[in-house]
């Protein structure tokens, strides 16, 4: 983590003064991408590392983190409350979404719109778990000439002292005592079968209903259909599944300074969010049919928002109060309802959530890339999860392997990798940087006051990370 000499790059003047007034709050902190509140609030979309923040320095042993009272001017929504508001905003809409009935091969990745219950016992008859012989009574056994194969009609009942060759998955003859594996038996010169290892009653027989009985709950509503879930549904007799359609998300990339190819030059920078957001939103369960690049054109933004039929509109940048920050004015112009206007989180403080119209929301992300990631996990992920009727993941935490300084009154989200039973904070975690999160497993939630070495921190898994 970066040393205290770079700490001011993530805080505004009031925040730095709060740290000065509380000297125990200084110490180990994360580096950031730009300087001043405008950068985190911001509309800066640069992904480069500044000399003051791009290279981590070796910190001195940090003091114990402490908290600082919240100044009265800091009125953004607390981070946990913002996530809850985003989830709650979509719940009533999710209840009104019409389920789809689709063939199994069209349901991969979609949430179940109804519980998956067993249509039959599994297995639906007693079956052999191994290749070998079905035997009745104690051995040695006389072996029948014909064998029993999977998919064939029910075989004849066995009498005591009889055995029959049987294949894995074949129906067990009535009165079978056990299945003797091929490698555990031998036949003598007279064709009689003998044990080479002890045999237990019922061994290697899968009894009817061992996995489930008709009507048993196999998967709850909201479970995302995986390849294994498809196999289970097919085994249970399903041809179609009731699923919830993916919510539609539209991405509007703002900023005249953004390039779509080549190297940065002459004050122009590469657009990092245009390539990053669509696959990230798809990983969160959305369909992303449209990505529009609008520059800093207020009328184009107004037209794009009012014409959109998406469930979720995601904008990049333009959420602060600068001369080309058009998101707030346009939301006011069209009568949108601001549900979240700023969040007490770093990076990503100026993110917002608005209800544009009935059935449609807008998430405004800051322009800095890691700040935008923070906005995705804070507002877009809970909203899309609720809209898809997916269950919330179980929260989990791991101890940090070093102390992480807390912001005076905001939550911090820090990229981490998991090594064994600990989470390791990563460098290059300023608002404009993607170098840390590109190799991260999760983001650690660092509350105001920080987290000491060895203390647990809640982890937000990335969609492709450890739990995702």
Per-residue pLDDT tens digits for 152-163: 888 899 999 999
CA angle in degrees (0–180, nearest 5) for 350-354-359: 150
With contact defined as beta carbons under 8 Å apart, do 26 and 61 qualify?
no
Distance (Å) of CA 392 to CA 201, 222, 247, 282, 328 = 45, 10, 17, 17, 30
251, β-bridge pairs:
291, 314
Q: What integer pLDDT is reported at residue 465 of this predicted model?
A: 64
Distance (Å) of CA 375 to CA 335, 352, 386, 464 = 23, 8, 16, 17
Residue 135 has pLDDT above 70, yes or no: yes
Reading the block at residue 9, the tokens are: 């790059």
Report the C-alpha gap between 233 and 241 in whole angstroms: 8
Q: How many CA atoms lie within 13 A of 331 on its CB side?
A: 26
| CA-CA-CA-CA torsion sign (436, 438, 444, 449) | positive
Per-residue pLDDT tens digits for 216-227: 999 999 898 999
**What size, in residues, is the chain?**
468
Residue 229 has pLDDT above 80, yes or no: yes
Q: What integer pLDDT is reported at residue 191 of this predicted model?
A: 84
Report the C-alpha gap between 378 and 352 in whole angstroms: 10
Q: What integer pLDDT is reported at residue 160 of this predicted model?
A: 92
193, β-bridge pairs:
141, 187
Residue 139 confidence class, pLDDT cut points 50, 70, 90: confident
Q: At 292, phi and psi to the nearest 5?
A: -115, 135
Residue 132 has pLDDT above 60, yes or no: yes
Distance of CA 22 to the CA centre of its chain: 37
How much of the chain, in percent, has pLDDT values that exceed 70? 83
Q: What integer pLDDT is reported at residue 274 of this predicted model?
A: 93
pTM of the entire predicted model: 0.74
Q: At 234, phi and psi to the nearest 5?
A: -65, -45
Report the C-alpha gap between 355 and 340 in whole angstroms: 10
Pairing of strands 162-166, 141-143: parallel
Q: What integer pLDDT is reported at residue 63 of this predicted model?
A: 47
Per-residue pLDDT tens digits for 378-433: 999 999 999 888 888 888 999 999 999 999 999 999 999 999 999 999 989 889 99
Question: Is 75 in a helix, a strand, or coil?
Answer: coil
Q: What integer pLDDT is reported at residue 463 of this predicted model?
A: 85
With contact defined as beta carbons under 8 Å apart, do 452 and 403 qualify?
yes
Residue 466 confidence class, pLDDT cut points 50, 70, 90: low
Residue 321 has pLDDT above 80, yes or no: yes
Q: At 165, phi and psi to the nearest 5?
A: -60, 140
- Report, as an integer, the average pLDDT of 271-287: 93
């Amino acid at each position: 983590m970066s040393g205290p000499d770079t700490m001011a790059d993530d805080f505004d003047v009031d925040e730095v003064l709060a740290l000065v007034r509380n000297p125990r709050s200084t110490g180990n902190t994360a580096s950031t991408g730009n300087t001043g509140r405008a950068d985190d609030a911001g509309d800066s979309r640069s992904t480069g590392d500044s000399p003051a923040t791009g290279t981590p320095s070796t910190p001195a042993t940090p003091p114990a983190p402490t908290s600082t009272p919240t100044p009265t001017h800091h009125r953004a929504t607390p981070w946990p409350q913002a996530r809850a508001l985003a989830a709650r905003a979509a719940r009533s809409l999710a209840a009104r979404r019409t389920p789809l009935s689709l063939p199994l091969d069209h349901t991969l990745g979609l949430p179940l719109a109804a519980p998956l219950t067993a249509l039959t016992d599994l297995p639906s008859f007693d079956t052999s778990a191994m290749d070998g012989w079905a035997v009745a009574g104690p051995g040695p056994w006389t072996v029948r000439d014909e064998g029993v194969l999977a998919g064939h009609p029910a075989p004849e009942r066995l009498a005591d002292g009889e055995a029959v060759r049987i294949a894995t998955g074949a129906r067990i003859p009535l009165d079978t005592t056990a299945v003797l594996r091929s490698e555990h038996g031998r036949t003598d010169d007279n064709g009689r079968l003998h044990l080479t290892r002890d045999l237990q009653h019922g061994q290697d027989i899968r009894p009817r209903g061992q996995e489930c009985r008709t009507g048993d709950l196999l998967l709850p509503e909201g479970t995302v259909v995986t390849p294994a879930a498809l196999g289970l549904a097919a085994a249970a007799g399903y041809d179609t599944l009731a699923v919830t359609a993916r919510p539609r998300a539209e991405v509007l990339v703002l900023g005249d300074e953004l390039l779509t190819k080549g190297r940065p030059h002459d004050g122009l920078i590469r657009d990092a969010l245009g390539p990053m957001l669509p696959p990230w939103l798809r990983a969160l369960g959305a369909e992303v049919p449209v990505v529009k690049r609008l520059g800093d054109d207020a009328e184009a933004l107004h037209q794009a928002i009012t014409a959109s039929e998406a469930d979720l509109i995601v904008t990049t940048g333009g959420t602060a109060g600068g001369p080309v920050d058009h998101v707030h004015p346009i939301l006011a112009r069209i009568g949108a309802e601001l549900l979240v206007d700023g969040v007490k989180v770093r990076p990503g403080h100026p993110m917002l959530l608005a209800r544009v119209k009935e059935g449609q929301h807008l998430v405004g992300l800051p322009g800095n890339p890691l700040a935008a990631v923070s906005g995705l996990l804070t507002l877009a992920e809970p909203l899309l999860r609720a809209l898809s009727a997916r269950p919330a993941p179980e929260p989990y935490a791991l101890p940090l392997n070093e102390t992480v300084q807390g912001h005076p009154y905001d939550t911090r989200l820090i990229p981490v990798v998991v090594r064994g039973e600990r989470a390791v904070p990563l460098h290059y975690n300023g608002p404009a940087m993607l170098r840390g999160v590109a190799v991260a497993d999760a983001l650690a939630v660092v509350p105001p006051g920080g987290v000491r070495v060895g203390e647990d921190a809640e982890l937000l898994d990335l969609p492709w990370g450890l739990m995702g």
